Amino acid sequence: MKLIKTLSICALSASMMFASSSLVTKAKNSGLKAIPESQLELLKLIDDKNDPITDEKVELGKKLYFEPRISKSGIISCNTCHNLGLGGADGVAAAVGHKWTANPHHLNSPTVYNSVFFDAQFWDGRSEHLADQAQGPVQAGPEMASPKGLVEKRINSIPEYVEEFKKAYGDNVKIDFDKITSTIAIFEKTLNTPSKFDDFLNGNPNALNKAEKKGLNTFIDKGCASCHNGIALGGTMQPFETVAKYSFAKVGDFKGDKNGMAKTPTLRNITETAPYFHNGQVWSLTKAVKEMGSTQLGIKISDSEAKEIVTFLKALKGRKPTITYPQLPESTLDTPRPDFN
C-alpha cells in the first residue's frame, strides 16, 4: 500500500513538472524572457563597454537621481515622478512638474524600474536609450524646466560633486550636461526587479503556484504576449487602438508617434503603478486587462479570465534593489539660486 502511494506521488510530481516545463516552453515561444540569474549574463544586456557600469558611477548617479537642484525650482528630482518607493512611478494620472503644472498632454509617468530593458523610451518612443531619455524631463518646461547651462553651473559649483565625478571618470572629466544625465542613466540601469516569474522561466517549476501558472497560460492564450513580451513584458513600439477605440481616448491629445505607434508599458510591478494607460484613466488592473482585450485584441475577456490574468500579473512584482536615500552635498555661494519663474 505504501509503495502504491509513493508511486502515485512520484507520478503526480512528474506530471506537474512536465506541465511546468511545457508552460515554460510555451511562454518562451511566445516571446517572454526572464531577467538572467547570472550577473555576468545580466551585464551583457545592460552594460556599455564604452561607458561601463562601476560602483562609483552608480553611487554618483543615484545622488543625481535624487538631486532636486538639477531642476529650475530646486525642488523637483527624477524621483519626484519616478518614485522608487512607489513602483518607480508617481501614482497620479498625469505627471506634475514645474510650477505645479500637470503634463499638458495629460501623460502618465511610466515606471523607471526595468526601463533598461525597453527598446524605446517615452510614450512616443522618441528616445532609444536611457542616457538620451534622461535629458528630456530635465529640460522640459512642464517638468524640471532646467536649461543645460543651469544644470552644469549648479553641479560644477559644488566641490563634492566635482570630486565625485573625478573619482568616477578620472581627473580630466568634463562635467557637462551629457555627462550628468548619462551618469543618472547608469544608476537607472541597475533598477531591475527579478520576480518569481523569472525564477519560473529560469528553471524553478515551483516558483509559480497553480493559479499563477493558469493565469500565465490564459495570458498567452488570449494574445496578451503579442505586445507584452521580451524581458520587460513591454517596452516596444506597437500600434494602439488596433481594433476598437480606447474608452478614454479623448483625455489628453496623445496620438502616438508619426505612425500612430505607442510604447507598450511594462507589466513588471504592474500592481504598484496604477493608474494605467498613457493618460492614467484606469485604476483597476482588472478593468485595464478587459480594456486591452477589446481595444487591442478585439475580444471580450470574461471576468473569470481577467481574474486569472491578474493573478499572473501579481507574480510579476519583483525584488527591488535596496536603495538608501543619499546625503547630498552642500550648495555654495556660487550655486545658482532656485528659480520659480
Q: How many helices (H) and strands (E) does the chain have?
A: 12, 4
Residue with the three cell numbers 500592481:
271
pLDDT tens-digit map of 172-189: 999 999 999 999 999 999
pLDDT tier at 20, thresholds 50, 70, 90: confident
Residue 6: pLDDT over 60: no
User: What integer pLDDT is reported at residue 155 of this predicted model?
Assistant: 98
User: What integer pLDDT is reported at residue 17 of this predicted model?
Assistant: 52
Query: Which residues are known to be catalytic?
Result: 143
Residue 78, marked binder:
yes
pLDDT tens-digit map of 228-285: 999 999 999 999 999 999 999 999 999 999 999 999 999 999 999 999 999 999 999 9
Instruction: For residue 53, give its domain range.
Output: 42-189
Around 284, how many Cα atoms within 13 Å sit in the side-chain half-sphere? 8
Average pLDDT over residues 44-68: 97
| Residues 237 and 172 occupy one common structural domain | no
Residue 105, marked binder:
no
pLDDT tier at 16, thresholds 50, 70, 90: low
User: What integer pLDDT is reported at residue 14 of this predicted model?
Assistant: 47
User: What integer pLDDT is reported at residue 128 of this predicted model?
Assistant: 87
pLDDT tens-digit map of 287-298: 999 999 999 999
Average pLDDT over residues 87-108: 96
The 10 Å CB-count burial string (b at 16+, else e) for 239-262 is: ebeeeeebebbebbebebeeeebb
Q: Is 333 contained in some domain?
A: no
C-alpha to C-alpha distances, 134 to 112, 127, 168, nearest whole angstrom:
11, 9, 19
Write down which residue in 189, 215, 245 finishes a domain: 189
pLDDT tens-digit map of 189-236: 999 999 999 999 999 999 999 999 999 999 999 999 999 999 999 999
Average pLDDT over residues 61-76: 98
Residue 12: pLDDT over 60: no
| Residues 90 and 63 occupy one common structural domain | yes
Write down which residue in 163, 189, 215 finishes a domain: 189
Q: Provide the CATH number for the domain around residue 58.
A: 1.10.760.10
Residue 278, marked binder:
no
Residue 129, marked binder:
no
Residue 98, marked binder:
yes
- What percentage of the chain reaches a pLDDT higher than 90? 93
pTM to 2 decimals? Answer: 0.93
| Residues 57 and 171 occupy one common structural domain | yes
| Residues 180 and 200 occupy one common structural domain | no
The amino acid at residue 152 is: E
